[in-house]
């Protein structure tokens, strides 16, 4: 653990923003940011001040091989109480559903009400603590409705609401962590169509909210306040000067843009880069970042109207970008999803470079720079067999988790891994971020292209993707389907048939009423035939809507 990482963790544990720490040390905020990003290290007199402030020895601070004691980190990364949480509203990526159908303005208001109260009273322990909560949103029409409802809930409980407006999920994570907010909220349904929306909650160190807190929110949404230690039948409302303020905080979004720019060590002048912004949250930020770095940028799908987010655009509809890059003879293309926490790239020949390729390229880069602890990356069970063959050839180890960037991140934190992600393009680079960040991933790919003086196609070439077929089957009850004996028997039969030359996975979607069937083998025809066979059985059993 580097000195920069220790400073970031200890600063957060004291609930200090970068500005507040800088003021105590009589340095600039930029200096603190550079320390925490491992761009520079503090001078010796500042190290002495830091060790005194954090009440640790200089050795504890300076020596990478000495981790922080659990007392410094336990309250940051673990919930206060261990529970078994099977969320009614919150899934692996927040509270998601069709706007004004399964996710309403009333839900949003109650979430804001609870968080404003919870972080004012339950976390700080200080009677006069005014909680500070930062909110971002994507470009969906319903995002504005949900944003205003959340802000109303937060301020009615006496907390202050800081509005980033249209921004990306990773920017909210960054601002929460760097500016000392109690928590963050992102309003987005990621890659889903415009009529869906979601509420993602982020804790004060920029990670997804723990299950314990989510379980309390769900209780409040359902009207159960019996465990909240309050006298009334509802949370108390703030009155008079205790009512919270609403603060325009676009400056936080701008600092995030500056942070991304600061990560790049090279100028991108001379590189032609296409950006597919999915008519989503990245449409301003991506332009600003890559323009500032000198790239010759070509942008598509950067005209959001509230109804066109992800519509035949972005990381889930990559063919338009492939065609655009090839026809315009560009060096590379980057496609983001609605909230820009994932990236799918296109190489100079118009070939798709997915999350597995990206993990391989960045994994080799980090390994070569000595930034891959334990020489392992974290993947999910959906990663292609071609990635594992390439990692084996490169001498890089790997672990697998269930599907979901949340589980990837948990594995990274528990085992001190620095890189992990999903084939879908969620890639977490822990040196720079606590969540997937599509723009950050794009910067890392460009840095490697420049440093190695080669193309993205050449960098990704060692990952020979096995043919794969994925079928999404909309069903009435996905859990019942997954546990149906006839379905399980067919899956086992196919698994035996494929042996070591392929595999089959059947899993429930974490956010939609969908069963996902995936088959990999040496033949595309075999993959398609077998996924159709399983989908046909599910349909014949009457499970499809």
Give the chain's end-to-end CA distance (angstroms, integer): 50
* Residues near 233 by beta carbon (within 8 Å), at least 6 away in sequence: 225
Answer positive or negative: Cα dihedral of 268, 274, 275, 279: positive
The rounded distance, in Å, linking the Cα atoms of 161 and 154 is 6
What residues are annotated to the active site? Answer: 190
The answer to whether 220 touches 113, Cβ cutoff 8 Å, is yes
Task: Give the closest residue to 87 by CA, choosing from 203, 232, 198, 228.
Answer: 198
The answer to whether 418 touches 107, Cβ cutoff 8 Å, is no
Region class of 334: left (phi > 0), else alpha (psi between -120 and 50), else beta: beta
* Residues near 259 by beta carbon (within 8 Å), at least 6 away in sequence: 33, 37, 174, 178
Secondary structure letter of residue 454 according to DSSP: S
Whole-Å CA distances, 163 to 148, 154, 348: 10, 12, 39
**Which segments of 369-513 does DSSP mark as H helices, in order?**
385-394, 405-415, 438-452, 456-460, 478-482, 485-498
Measured from the Cβ of residue 296, the count of other Cβ atoms closer than 10 Å reads: 15
Helix (H, G, I), strand (E, B) or coil at 445: helix
Task: Give the closest residue to 381 by CA, choosing from 300, 470, 301, 444.
Answer: 470
Cα 497 → chain centroid: 36
Number of helices (H) and strands (E) in the chain: give both, helices first: 21, 19
Locus of tokens 């043919």: 467
The rounded distance, in Å, linking the Cα atoms of 343 and 148 is 29
Long-range contacts of residues 345-348, Cβ cutoff 8 Å, at least 24 apart:
345/442, 345/445, 345/456, 346/274, 346/318, 346/321, 346/322, 347/455, 347/456, 347/457, 347/460, 348/455, 348/456, 348/457
Measured from the Cβ of residue 208, the count of other Cβ atoms closer than 10 Å reads: 22
Task: Give the closest residue to 228 by CA, choosing from 103, 113, 340, 335.
Answer: 113
């Amino acid at each position: 653990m580097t000195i920069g990482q220790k400073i970031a963790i200890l600063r957060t544990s004291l609930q200090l923003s970068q500005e507040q720490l800088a003021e105590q040390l009589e340095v600039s905020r930029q200096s603190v940011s550079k320390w925490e990003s491992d761009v520079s290290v503090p001078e010796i007199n500042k190290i002495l001040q830091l060790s005194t402030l954090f009440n640790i020895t200089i050795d504890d601070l300076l020596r990478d091989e000495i981790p922080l004691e659990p007392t410094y980190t336990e309250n940051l990364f673990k919930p206060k109480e261990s529970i078994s949480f099977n969320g009614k509203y919150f899934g692996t990526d927040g509270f998601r559903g069709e706007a004004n159908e399964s996710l309403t303005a009333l839900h949003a208001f109650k979430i804001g009400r609870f968080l404003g109260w919870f972080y004012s009273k339950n976390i700080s322990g200080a009677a006069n603590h005014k909680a500070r909560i930062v909110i971002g949103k994507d470009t969906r029409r319903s995002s504005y409705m949900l944003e205003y409802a959340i802000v109303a809930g937060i301020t009615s409980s006496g907390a202050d609401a800081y509005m980033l407006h249209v921004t990306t999920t990773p920017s909210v994570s960054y601002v929460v962590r760097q500016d000392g907010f109690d928590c963050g909220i992102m309003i987005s349904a990621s890659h889903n169509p415009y009529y869906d929306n979601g509420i993602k909650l982020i804790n004060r160190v920029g990670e997804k909210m723990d299950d314990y807190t989510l379980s309390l929110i769900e209780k409040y949404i359902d009207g159960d306040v019996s465990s909240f230690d309050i006298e009334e039948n509802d949370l108390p409302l703030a009155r008079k000067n205790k009512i919270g303020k609403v603060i325009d905080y676009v400056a936080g979004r701008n600092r995030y843009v500056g942070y991304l720019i600061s990560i790049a060590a090279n100028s991108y002048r001379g590189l032609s880069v296409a950006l597919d912004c999915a008519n989503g949250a990245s449409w301003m930020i991506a332009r600003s970042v890559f323009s500032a770095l000198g790239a010759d940028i070509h942008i598509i799908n950067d005209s959001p109207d509230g109804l066109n987010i992800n519509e035949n655009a972005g990381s889930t509809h990559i063919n338009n970008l492939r065609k655009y890059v090839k026809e315009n003879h560009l060096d590379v293309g980057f496609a983001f999803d609605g909230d820009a926490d994932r990236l799918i790239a296109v190489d100079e020949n118009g070939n798709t470079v997915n999350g597995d390729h990206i993990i391989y390229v960045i994994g080799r880069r980090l390994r070569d720079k000595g930034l891959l602890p334990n020489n392992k990356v974290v993947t999910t069970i959906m990663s292609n067999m071609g990635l594992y063959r390439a990692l084996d050839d490169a001498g890089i180890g790997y672990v697998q988790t269930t599907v979901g960037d949340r589980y990837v991140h948990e594995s990274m934190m528990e085992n001190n891994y620095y890189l992990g992600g999903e084939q879908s393009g969620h890639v977490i680079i822990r040196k720079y971020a606590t969540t997937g960040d599509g723009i950050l991933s794009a910067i890392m790919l460009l840095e490697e292209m420049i440093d190695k003086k080669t193309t993205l196609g050449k960098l990704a070439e060692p990952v020979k993707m096995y043919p794969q077929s994925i079928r999404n089957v909309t069903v009435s009850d996905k859990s019942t389907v997954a546990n149906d004996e006839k379905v399980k028997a067919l899956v086992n039969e196919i698994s035996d048939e494929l042996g070591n030359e392929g595999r089959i996975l059947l899993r429930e979607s974490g956010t939609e009423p969908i069963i996902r069937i995936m088959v990999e083998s040496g033949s595309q025809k075999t993959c398609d035939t077998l996924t159709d066979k399983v989908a046909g059985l599910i349909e014949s059993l009457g499970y499809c809507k």
